[in-house]
Amino acid sequence: MLDISQSEISTDKINISGELVILDYLWGKPTEKLLKNLIPNSPANLRQTIIIEIGAATGQNDIILAATALRTSGVQLRGMMTNKSLANRTKAAEFLWKWLINKKIHGDILKISLEDAARNWYDTSKNGVRSVINF
């Protein structure tokens, strides 16, 4: 998980080989900050980074994107419905469930009626709260 509360966001301490995949459910200002901080200081810091946009929990649908964020960083922006993203969706879900089970991340669940879910579907005033319909 990346701490986006700081002014500088670093992926340098993430110990992985290969490409870095970020599942972005926030969008908006946090994504702008992330993209700005992924611009490398030198070619030696270049790492392939894929950002998959899966939601807009901030309520913002638009971002300001500097050309250098893509041109010099190796960043790729993808929607969640690309073939590669869909193929990895099961793996990502399993990974997130393991984090939830091992209490590395936390998600509150509040059961509401279908009517309340329909009424609150587009309500972004409650930051981080989203309706999910489970059949």
Sign of CA dihedral 75, 12, 21, 125: negative
pTM of the model: 0.57
Task: Return d(Cα 50, Cα 59) in angstroms, integer.
Answer: 22
Q: What is the pLDDT averaged over residues 78-88?
A: 73
Q: Which two tokens stand for residue 132?
A: 């999910």
Q: Which residue has the higher pLDDT, 87 or 94?
A: 94
Predicted confidence at residue 64, as pLDDT, reads 92
Mean pLDDT of all residues belonging to the chain: 76
Q: Which residue has the higher pLDDT, 18 or 96?
A: 96
**Band (93; pLDDT cuts 50, 70, 90):** confident
Q: What is the pLDDT averaged over residues 92-117?
A: 81
Q: What is the pLDDT averaged over residues 63-82?
A: 83
**Alpha helices for 3-133 (secondary structure H):** 29-37, 67-71, 83-101, 114-120
Q: Which residue has the higher pLDDT, 98 or 88?
A: 98
**Band (33; pLDDT cuts 50, 70, 90):** confident
Q: 21-25, 54-58, 84-88: which range is least confident on average?
A: 84-88
With a cut of 60, say whether residue 66 has pLDDT above it.
yes
